[in-house]
Structures are given as C-alpha cells and as structure tokens.
Chains A and B, each alone.
Chain A
C-alpha cells in the first residue's frame, strides 16, 4: 500500500512539474515534539509532517489531492496517507464533488453532534488539530443552490469507522467490562462492502441576515461497535465462568438541526440530533449486554468578544430516552467547553485556552497555547495538555499530561 502511495506521489510530483502553470500547490512542514512532564521527561510525540495540497482547475472542473507524509521519530516509521483526493464539477445551480473528501456539518466546535459524515481519527484522542482528526471519506456529494439556501445530498458507498487507539496505546479508552475472564470474537466486526450497506445523508441549510440554520437527516452506521456479550456457564453456577465479547456495527439513523444567530454583538449557536435505536452496553447478560434506546445529543453555544478577548462557551447534554438502570452510560451526560483567545503585537502573538469539562465526573482537559509568527507563514507554538480528575472521558488520561512545541512553515 505504502509503495503504491509513494508511486502515486511521485506521479503527482511529475505531473506538477509538467503542468506547473496550471497546478497550484501549497501545504506545510511541521515538527512536533511532546514531552510527558514526569521525572524522566519521556518523549510522547516526535513527529515530522509534510502536508501537501495540489489543486488544479480548468473551466468548470477542479481537482484536489492531499497526500500527507508523517515520520514518527519514536517508532522510526514513515506513515503516508491520502487525506483527500477528489474532483469537482461546477454547474450553474449545483456542484458535484466525487472522491475522498472531508464533509463537515453543524455549528458546534470540537463536539460531534450532526457532524457524523466524516469519521474521526481518535488514535491520539482529541489532541490533534480538528482538521487532522477528521478523515476524508469516499463519497459523492451533490449541492444544489437557490439564493441563500443549499441542499446537500451525500452518498457514501462503503462504511469507514472512526479509528480508535491501539489496545497498547496510552489513549486506549477504559472499557467497562465485568471482571470475568473474557475473549473477543471479531468475526462480525466489519460491514460488508456492498450497495445495500452504503450510507446516505441529506441537509438543507440557509445563511441569512436573521439566522443561519441547517436541517439534516442521515442513515449511517454507528461509528462505535456495540459489544455483544455471550456468557458461558458451568451447569449449576449462576455466575458465568467466562464471556465472549463480539463487537458488531449497527445502523444508526438520525435527524438533526443546528442554528447560529447574532444577538447584541454576540453569536448564539445551537445544535441537536435525535438518534434512533442506538445499542448501549448494559449489565444484563440475558440480553447479551445490549439495550437499544433512542437518545438525544444537543448543545447551546455562546461566542462574544470582551475587551479584545474572544470567548466561546458551549454546554452539551446527552440524554438516553426510556432509560433503564442496567445501562452502563448515565441517563444524562453533561459536558462543557470553554475557549478564550487574544492576540497581541499586531496578531503575531496569540494566547489561547481551550478546555473540556466533564460535569458529571468532575474531570477536565485544559489546553493552553502560546503561538508566535516568526514571519509570514512561519509559526512556533508552545502548549500543554492537562488532564484533571480520575475518571470520566478526560480524567481517565490523568497520567497523560503533556507539554509540547510545534514549529510549522506554510508554503
């Protein structure tokens, strides 16, 4: 696979030289060093990245290819990926985009509610830039325009799940499983690649003076597999001796809406989605540890500029309808995000703090950053990831605090 990508990259490079007048190319080179602030000062990240974006346009057709080369200095591995590769056809009233592409929906920042089209790469939790967390997905996207309204239809022929961290990674999430010997059966942990298993989504959006809003519906696969548990009993015993855990993907249809509106110089944002029949893990083995419930995920956000400081606050709640006590998730889950940022010295220096707060578990992720432009396109950044708490989505990574620096040159 790697060899193929290298060959394709070489071909692209040759094509760029041959068609230099028509192909524009941009991108960045970045060095990223992360240190765990323990007594040894162990390196947690040492990456060198070359992100290359090639663009070609003629008449009503456009082409975009984005290979990315990532050398991991700790593993001594060169990872090459094709983040996006698509072509556009522009018509008078509609556009067509075909290929591997990122599709972003909704009004939330750093929270995924109606933004379910592009899967995510969570192999380093939520720490990479959001643009790098999202994975391009093979799809066909049709946009129809009328005035300030847009209808967007997406067809995704093959399911691509979110990338989770390896089991031996420091970012592998804590799984709530009974303390009984268990084994995994991955025989059904895939979705067949055929037309009947494809995904589809439809969105109407409006952008105007009074309000911006989106209405959407999607027939997707749940990115996270449900863990079907089969208990094994010795005759006469009430407690199982062992468990077989079978991860399996299921359909997850949803409808959703989002809006943003200016009020007295501030922006109010909202986003919600209703998911039909999500499979939740439950403690009851008689139903294979799965309960199917509808649930609602929603957010309200507020953005304002106070004395030159951009402040953004989001309150997020997840609610499982018709809740039953053996479900492992809470009936209500509450999270908040907070962002404050300010620039200095004619926008060459920026200080910012982005934070997630798990309200139920009292945990948090604090991400202070200091970024300085040495010259146009040449930036140095110092930051920290501070996990607070012992449990919850963020507290479980309390030992993974990190300080880091990134040097980036855009061309």
Chain B
C-alpha cells in the first residue's frame, strides 16, 4: 500500500510538474488566441457609452464576420444614432505579420466608399472606451507574458497573466489578464497607460455557447481615470450560417442594411 501511495504521489508530482510546464504565460495566452472561433458570424451589437455624470449615448450596429483562412473580413452597418444611419465600415485583417488591415468607410451622405488610414489602432472605436486594437485579436508574440498567480473571480478559477508589449511605442505599458481555467476565455483585463498607471478595466459579464463555440455577449470597458464606461452587448448571434463572400464588397457597403 505504501508503495502504491508513493507511486501515486510521484505520478501526481510528474503531472503537476508537466502541467506547471504548460502553464507559462505565453501558452495560456496562446490557448486564448487559438480558442475555436466561428467561420462566420452575424450579430446585432449595441454599445452604451456612459460618461461620469451618467449620461448615456447608444450606438447600434449590425455586423457580419467571416474567416477566409489567412484573412478575416468584417462589415458593420450603423443603425443608430440617426446621424450615422447606414454608414458602413469594412475591415480586412490579415494573419501575416506586419501586414496592416485594409479599411473602408461609406458615408451615405457623400455616396462614396473611401479607403481610410489603418495606422490608428490606438484610436477609440466610435467614441467608446475600446480602441480598434482592443477589439482585434492581438497576436501572442507581440508581448512578453508572465504567469503571476491563480485567482478566483465570480466562482471561476483564473490564471492571472501579465503581458508587456515588445514594441516600445505601444499605447499600453502592460496588461494583466484573468483567463478562466480550461475555458481559455478572458474574464477580466486591466490596461495600464504609458505612465504605468491603471487606465481601463475590461470585464466579461456574459458568455454564450453557440454550436460549441463560446461567444462573449456582454462586456464592459471602464476608463478608471475619466470615469467613462462602455457596455457592449451582442444579440441575435448566429454562427456558421454560410455568410456569402459577396457580403464583404463595395456593393454591400453602399446598399446598406
């Protein structure tokens, strides 16, 4: 019996060591990055922008996404507020390192699709607290990752990973991400500004499993310094419904919703 217990302990130690080896910060973030995603997706996105006085502005968007293997195409049609109704925005992002996104905007009043500069990932999306970079998939090799600890949030055990950008000019000095164990999905993320002060906190408040793929349906980004926050809600989510390649064209940008 003693021999058996010793063997079991040794085995547990080996498993524990192996799993500890797997639990580097980089691997956790890679697991998040490689989490299965939909081949295509349609959804209604509502962003509520709330300032420090509690005043709320609402942006409503109909969006379509499609993975083309080495690139992802996204098209967004703005539904509200009224002054941006039927404005559309199209983004093509590429897996290839160093290749900038291609972006176009269609303003119905001007009746013209215009290619826009994509070197503004630090710009805030539609006045929200999310930058374009926050909304995209940041590649794991762009940061140095370190597993800090494990912590429980809302009953979920999370890995806490610190990520420091390799690029000196990046808008954040570091981020700290709480990743739910086994689900490989972020639960919370703190963003630190260039002065190393806490700037924003992202919390993931609701997820849904659709066709075995976990989709974040409710999240909140709060700017700690300005007290401004954005609540992002995804509704009517449909995945792998066979969105046509032709959805991501100039024709559809002009045709609108």
The stretch among B123-131, B151-159, B174-182, B205-213 that forms the contact with chain A is: B123-131
A379 touches B83 (CB 8 A): yes
When A150-B250, A265-B100, A410-B81 are in contact, do A207 and B113 touch as well, CB less than 8 Å? Answer: yes
Asked if A148 is an interface residue, CB under 8 A from chain B, the answer is: yes
A308 touches B83 (CB 8 A): no
A303 touches B116 (CB 8 A): yes
Asked if A130 is an interface residue, CB under 8 A from chain B, the answer is: yes
Asked if A264 is an interface residue, CB under 8 A from chain B, the answer is: yes
User: In chain A, what residue has the closest Cβ to B51?
Assistant: A346
Query: Number of A-B pairs whose CB atoms are under 8 Å?
Result: 101
When A305-B123, A346-B49, A346-B127 are in contact, do A262 and B251 touch as well, CB less than 8 Å? Answer: no
User: In chain B, what residue has the closest Cβ to A92?
Assistant: B246
A205 touches B110 (CB 8 A): no
User: In chain A, what residue has the closest Cβ to B113?
Assistant: A207
Write the A124-151 contact mask toward B (1 if CB under 8 angstroms, else 0): 0000011100000000000101011010
Asked if B144 is an interface residue, CB under 8 A from chain A, the answer is: no
Asked if B57 is an interface residue, CB under 8 A from chain A, the answer is: yes
Within 8 A of B (CB), among A1-50: 26, 28
Give chain A residues whose Cβ lies under 8 Å from the Cβ of B123: 305, 308
When A148-B249, A260-B115, A304-B117 are in contact, do A376 and B80 touch as well, CB less than 8 Å? Answer: yes
Assembled-state Cα–Cα distance A131/B107 (Å): 10
Asked if B135 is an interface residue, CB under 8 A from chain A, the answer is: no
Give chain A residues whose Cβ lies under 8 Å from the Cβ of B57: 373, 375-376
Specify which of A131, A147, A264, A346 is in contact with B109 (CB 8 Å cutoff). A131
B111 touches A104 (CB 8 A): yes
Asked if B58 is an interface residue, CB under 8 A from chain A, the answer is: yes
Chain B nearest CB, measured from A50 CB (Å): 14
Asked if A377 is an interface residue, CB under 8 A from chain B, the answer is: yes
Assembled-state Cα–Cα distance A305/B126 (Å): 16
Specify which of B81, B104, B128, B250 is in contact with A376 (CB 8 Å cutoff). B81
Give chain A residues whose Cβ lies under 8 Å from the Cβ of B81: 376-377, 410
User: In chain A, what residue has the closest Cβ to B90?
Assistant: A207
B102 touches A346 (CB 8 A): no
Give chain B residues whose Cβ lies under 8 Å from the Cβ of A376: 57-58, 80-83
Give chain B residues whose Cβ lies under 8 Å from the Cβ of A373: 57
Specify which of A104, A209, A260, A269 is in contact with B110 (CB 8 Å cutoff). A104
Write the A91-104 contact mask toward B (1 if CB under 8 angstroms, else 0): 00001000000111
A209 touches B83 (CB 8 A): no
How would you classify the secondary structure of chain B's contact residues: helix, strand, loop or mixed? mixed
How would you classify the secondary structure of chain A's contact residues: helix, strand, loop or mixed? strand
Asked if B139 is an interface residue, CB under 8 A from chain A, the answer is: no
Give chain B residues whose Cβ lies under 8 Å from the Cβ of A410: 81-83
User: In chain B, what residue has the closest Cβ to A115?
Assistant: B112
Assembled-state Cα–Cα distance A150/B94 (Å): 24
Asked if B119 is an interface residue, CB under 8 A from chain A, the answer is: yes
Asked if B118 is an interface residue, CB under 8 A from chain A, the answer is: yes
A262 touches B100 (CB 8 A): yes
Give chain A residues whose Cβ lies under 8 Å from the Cβ of B116: 267, 303
When A26-B82, A262-B118 are in contact, do A143 and B127 touch as well, CB less than 8 Å? Answer: no
A145 touches B251 (CB 8 A): yes
B228 touches A262 (CB 8 A): no
Chain B nearest CB, measured from A343 CB (Å): 7
Q: Tell me the B residues contacting A by CB distance below 8 Å.
A: 49, 51, 55, 57-58, 71, 80-83, 85, 92, 94, 100, 102, 104, 109-120, 122-124, 126-129, 228, 246, 249-251, 255
Q: Tell me the A residues contacting B by CB distance below 8 Å.
A: 26, 28, 90, 95, 102-104, 107, 129-131, 143, 145, 147-148, 150, 205, 207, 209, 212, 260-262, 264-267, 269, 303-305, 308, 310, 343, 346-348, 373, 375-377, 379, 410-411
Q: List 19 A-B contacts (CB under 8 A).
A: A28-B82, A95-B251, A95-B255, A129-B109, A148-B250, A207-B250, A212-B104, A212-B113, A212-B115, A262-B100, A265-B118, A346-B51, A347-B127, A375-B57, A376-B82, A377-B81, A379-B83, A410-B82, A411-B82
List the 4 shortest-distance A-B pairs measured between CB atoms, nearest first: A265-B119, A347-B127, A376-B81, A410-B83
